[in-house]
A = this chain, B = another copy of it.
Amino acid sequence: MKEKTLYVVIAGCGAVGGRIAGHLSSMGHSVVVIDRDEKAFNNLPWEYSGFKIRGDVAEIENLKMAKLKNADAFLALTDDDNTNFMVTQVAKKIYNVPMVLARVNDPSNLKLFEEAGVLVVSPVILTVQFILSFFLGEDAERKRKV
């Protein structure tokens, strides 16, 4: 049985957005990526077969053009938390997108996003956890030896 193709709209085509768009597209999903900077599309892999919209994600026309109302998932991955917050609220409340996820650049904003019912990813927190795992690993190792 063929797996369902998801329709995914991605705001922001930086180092993260471009890679995600490439991966999802190669997995067979339908992807639209929006960025106001034409150069950002250089972050897409050459084999990317989805759509690209050049424009400000904070302008509702661009979200309409991306057919956000049909999206199964919306990912707000710009480097600006205010923009990410605003567009995730549009995706959730106006377009009822089932899965809405935001990159939260400043960890002090995490609570705001979570209280608004948005899935979050914090590059800072992930990086901190990864580094600490080396030290916690050493501690665990030491405890086993004691």
Contacts and interface: CB of A to CB of B under 8 A. Distances in A.
Contact of A142 (B3, B123, B126): B3
Interface residues of A, number: 37
A77 B27 CA distance: 33
Contact of A135 (B6, B16, B134, B139): B6
A124 B20 contact: no
B20 A128 contact: yes
Pick from A29, A101, A106, A121 the residue with the most CB of B within 10 Å: A121
Copy number in the complex reads: 2
Interface string A83-121: 000000000000000010101001100000000000101
B131 A75 contact: yes
Max chain B Cβ within 10 angstroms of own Cβ: one of A15, A139, A142:
A15
A139 B3 CA distance: 8
B27 A99 contact: no
B4 A101 contact: no
Give the 3 A-B residue pairs with the shortest CB-CB distance, closest first.
A123-B123, A126-B126, A123-B127
